[in-house]
Amino acid sequence: MGFGRLTIVGIWDGQFGEVEVRRVQPYEALKVYVCPGCNRDIPEGMGHYVCVPSDAADLRRHWHYGCWDNRVVSQN
């Protein structure tokens, strides 16, 4: 099953500044997160990205690699 293209607007297209994207290694993933791209769990022990808007660090979210890499951001 592949990932579809996502249109992510607002937070992820610059509304709150640049988005810092960091890799979370499997050994660092110590709990379950919900990916905002697909609303599915990212299980403990699975590598993924953590994405942090520079002007709104409290909106940090954890994303599957595929969901983040295949998203489509709006063009302003």
Extents of the domains making up the chain: 6-73
Given a cut of 70, the residues of the chain with pLDDT beneath it are 1-14, 72-76
- Sole residue written with tokens 């607002």: 10
| Cα(15)–Cα(75) distance, integer angstroms | 12
pLDDT of residue 67: 92
pLDDT of residue 19: 86
Record the tokens describing residue 73, joined without a space.
Answer: 């951001």
pLDDT of residue 2: 44
What's this model's pTM, rounded to 2 decimal places?
A: 0.77
pLDDT of residue 18: 84
